[in-house]
Amino acid sequence: MRKLNLVLLILLLPAALLAQAPAATPAASSAPAGVGAGKVAVIDLQKAITENADGKKAQEKFMAEFTKKQKEFEDKQKLLTDNQQKLQTQDKALSEAAKAQLAKDIDRLNTDLQRMNDDAQKELGDLQQTLFRPIAEKAQEILKSYSNENGFAAVFDVSSQANSIIYFQDVADITTEIIRKIDSTPTKPASSTTAPKPPAGK
């Protein structure tokens, strides 16, 4: 039986939210005087998105909903385990009808758990998008602006375990500065599509 394991969603946050975002383009012409081309920096994008003030609030809301769904899943999982143990330990004491009903209940609980798991994955994924996308978009805009202002030709995300950077100086890490700028910049509300109003009746 698969366990509910949704916390991994949060670990994929930057990639999931920014995969379709336009990449910040270098602007060498806008670099301050005296700054040479080829300057690079690194950022922990995961940290930048989740550890600013709005990100922490979003995490609290997300984890509250996650904990609620986890509890619901575990309660049903316990009921399934109890029924399975009852069928195994009381096999000789139960009538054929009782054993058939227990087996039927176990099948139903297995189906319910699978459905709960799938629904929770989708609902929490949608909630994550709603909570974190405005923050991620703001982080992207601030990162692009900051990179242009400071003449960075490239900024590498070190939050991914797949990154191939094996060494960088602390001075090259701009995560803390980006978090500071995110906190000092108002977050835009999530974009939404408004349905056109029907024409007024004559």
Helix (H, G, I), strand (E, B) or coil at 125: helix
Please indicate, yes or no, whether the overall pTM of this predicted structure exceeds 0.95: no
pLDDT at 162: 65
Looking up tokens 């977050």 gives 187
Residue 21 resides in a domain: no
Say how many domains are in the chain: 1
Over the stretch 13-36, which tens digit does the pLDDT of each residue have? Answer: 544 554 444 444 444 334 443 344
Q: E-strand spans in 15-93?
A: 39-43
Residue 143 resides in a domain: yes
39 beta partners:
152
Over the stretch 106-122, which tens digit does the pLDDT of each residue have? Answer: 999 999 999 998 898 88
pLDDT at 160: 73
Residue 200 resides in a domain: no
- Residue 29 DSSP symbol: G
Place 201 in a pLDDT band, splitting at 50, 70 and 90: very low
Letter for the amino acid at 92? K
| Full residue range of the structural domain in which residue 107 is found | 8-13+34-183
Query: b/e map of 138-149 (b: 16 or more CB within 10 Å)?
Result: bbbbbbbebbbe
Helix (H, G, I), strand (E, B) or coil at 66: helix
The bridge status of strand 152-157 relative to strand 39-43 is parallel
